[in-house]
Amino acid sequence: MIELRDVHKVYSNGTNALKGIDINIDQGEFLFIVGPSGAGKSTFTKLLLREETPSSGSVMVNGYNLVKMRRSKIPYLRRTIGVVFQDFRLIDNKTIYENVAFAMRVIGASPKNIRKRVPYVLGLVGLASKAKSFPREISGGEQQRVALARALVNNPAIIIADEPTGNVDPQMSREIMDLLCEINKRGTTVLVVTHDHDIVQEYDKRVITIKDGVIVSDKEGGK
Amino acid sequence: MGERLSYFLKDVFKSIWRNRMMALASLFVLVSCMLIMGTSVIISFNINAVAEKIENQNEIVIFLRDDITQAELTDLERSIERDSRITKSIYFSKEQALQEYIEQQDGDEYLYESLKEDNVLPASFRLSFDNSDGKISDSVSTFEKMAGVEKIRFNKDLVDKVDNFSKIINFVGIWLIIVLAIVSLFIIQNTIKIALFTRKKEINIMKYVGATDSFIQAPFVLEGVLIGIVSSAVAFGIQYILYQKVISGILDSFGIDLISAVPFSEMQLYILVPFALTGLIVGGIGSLMSIRKYLQV
């Protein structure tokens, strides 16, 4: 499902972000990518989304060869990946419902499907009652769940959560993590990118640690 | 499909409204550009009409000296008869010339009593040529050399002058249009850039959830094209009013048959089509140009 072989990434400014990464992630896995800032975590996620291409090596995601991929195919790759951003990136002048529906609308989903799918996903993240609210009217934790709902709504095979615990209090962190586990149980691969060791310790999952552009450990079970 | 389309159009109109000052500025510049374009079309149409009228007349007038002798007159008459390309020749005496002049001046005869007493108008031959584009100027130079000829009025001079004038007008017009088109392109580009900027977040999200480039571009291109089309409609309306009320009024006030205004209906296609094309191209290309930079995620 995700397969990186000897991936190197050198940016044009000379920064050597990744120095030979090998990763294999199977369908339905839940894993943490941890490491201090500047370790190469964000380069790694950018590679998966084909925002960046590797300087050398190969990247396969959901059956797409990201090195040989044509630019026009990128949107179709991204439809198989849901991203939850640390800063949520909700559209302020759209309601919660519209924010989630927007993600379906812009990939050309039919209005009928949107009307069916959006309430279902909002129910899944426990926000059915807030559908008509605007982002500024709800809490940070709720905003994050909206971001998660939006990532989920197009039924991606992979969810990438970027620092999901970074902007919310510990109580909220636990809620969002539990939600991600729940989603994972339904068969979606979940990748949590974080530098929060506490949260990693709490969950018994696979943890890949990146430091200075190389994988320093890859082990099952966070404890 | 209807629901999706209405969403799409709503987005476009919302964006234009949010950005209305810039949209209005683009509209204003585009309309100005088109008006200059249309005005030069109108001017060249009218100039060409005048030139054509003059050319069609294919006439020369030989003015005779007052002291022309009978022998010289006969000589001249024979030369005219010999010139095969002259289809019609009319002799106008001094008296006839005066009569015609008075008639042209609304015929208030007694105002011209003094003119009658001392008739300064020359006698003349009015010659018509066939239209076979022969060298009228050859005949002109022949007659010019003959005795008793005062002067020859020859329309070719006038035609050349009108032609030169219209060339200058066209030249200036084309450069004005090019410069203004570039300015409009720049303004449209900036308008769309601002529209893009206010929706930066939306575009970013669209890219991440996998919207295609054309899906992202479409509303912005439509916005540019819409501004262009509205501009061409506005410019066409203004041009019409301007022509009917102002330009044709001025031209008609000369009261000379030669300089009557060309009816707007004869020119409207040559005005509307360039307007619409300018609107479409400038609006479409302008917006595409600014989007291209933004879509490199």
How far B282 CA lies from chain A's nearest CA (Å)?
26
For A107, which of B201, B209, B213 is closest by C-beta distance?
B209
Chain B environment of A72 (Cβ under 8 Å): 212-213
pLDDT digits (tens, 9 = 90+) for A92-149: 889 999 999 999 998 989 999 999 999 999 999 999 999 999 999 999 889 999 999 9
- At A53 the pLDDT is 94
Interchain CB contact of A89 with B (< 8 Å): yes
Q: Which residue's structure tokens are 């050319």?
A: B55
User: 3-state DSSP: chain A helix, strand, coil percent, rounded to 5?
Assistant: 35, 25, 35
- At B193 the pLDDT is 85
Q: Which domains does chain B have, with CATH numbers?
A: 2-53+161-295 (no CATH), 59-154 (3.30.70.3040)
Q: Which positions 93-122 of A are in contact with B (Cβ < 8 Å)?
A: 102-103, 105-108, 110-111
Decide if B209 and A103 are in contact by the 8 Å CB cutoff: yes
Chain A environment of B209 (Cβ under 8 Å): 78-79, 82, 103, 106-107, 150, 154
Q: B217 to chain A: nearest residue by CA?
A: A106
Chain B environment of A91 (Cβ under 8 Å): 201-202, 205
Chain A environment of B200 (Cβ under 8 Å): none
- At B297 the pLDDT is 46
Decide if B201 and A106 are in contact by the 8 Å CB cutoff: no
Chain A environment of B18 (Cβ under 8 Å): none
Per-residue pLDDT in tens (0 to 9) along chain B, 297 residues: 577 788 788 888 887 887 788 888 889 888 988 898 888 888 878 887 877 777 666 778 888 888 888 888 888 888 888 887 787 888 888 888 888 777 777 656 666 777 777 788 888 888 887 755 555 667 777 787 888 888 887 766 676 777 787 788 778 878 887 887 888 888 888 888 887 888 888 888 899 999 998 888 888 889 889 999 999 999 999 999 988 887 667 766 665 555 567 888 888 898 999 899 989 998 898 888 888 877 764
Give the best residue of B7, B9, B208, B216 to mutate against chain A (max A CB count within 10 A): B208
- At A207 the pLDDT is 94
For B202, which of A91, A150, A154 is closest by C-beta distance?
A91
The count of CB pairs under 8 A between chains A and B is 50
* Arithmetic mean of pLDDT over chain A: 92
Distance between CA A192 and CA A196 in Å, rounded? 10
For B208, which of A76, A78, A110 is closest by C-beta distance?
A78
Give the best residue of A86, A92, A105 to mutate against chain B (max B CB count within 10 A): A105
Give the best residue of B209, B292, B297 to mutate against chain A (max A CB count within 10 A): B209
Distance between CA A97 and CA A88 in Å, rounded? 15
For B205, residues 6+ apart whose C-beta sits below 8 A from its C-beta are: A89, A91, A102, A103, A106, A150
Cβ count within 10 A of residue B274: 16
This prediction has a pTM of: 0.70
β strands within chain B, DSSP E: 59-64, 86-92, 124-129, 149-154
Q: Are B33 and B227 in contact (CB under 8 A)?
A: no
Q: Are A190 and A174 in contact (CB under 8 A)?
A: no
For A89, which of B201, B210, B215 is closest by C-beta distance?
B201
How far B24 CA lies from chain A's nearest CA (Å)?
24
Decide if B210 and A78 are in contact by the 8 Å CB cutoff: yes
Cα–Cα distances in angstroms (integers) from residue A48 to residues A12, B59, B213, in the given order: 19, 84, 19
Decide if A111 and B3 are in contact by the 8 Å CB cutoff: yes
Convert B104-140 to b/e letters by CB count within 10 Å (16 or more is b). eeeeeeeebeeeeeebebbbbbebebeeeeeebeebb
The three-class DSSP label of residue B287 is helix
Chain A environment of B3 (Cβ under 8 Å): 111
Residue type at A3 in one-letter notation: E
How far A152 CA lies from chain B's nearest CA (Å)?
10
Enter the tokens of residue B55: 């050319």
Distance between CA A5 and CA A58 in Å, rounded? 5
CA dihedral A27, A30, A36, A41 (to 10 degrees): 20
Chain A environment of B202 (Cβ under 8 Å): 91, 102
Cβ count within 10 A of residue A192: 27
- At A9 the pLDDT is 95
CA distance between the termini of chain B: 29
For B210, which of A102, A105, A107 is closest by C-beta distance?
A107
Interchain CB contact of A49 with B (< 8 Å): yes
Give the residues of chain A that fall short of pLDDT 70: 222-223
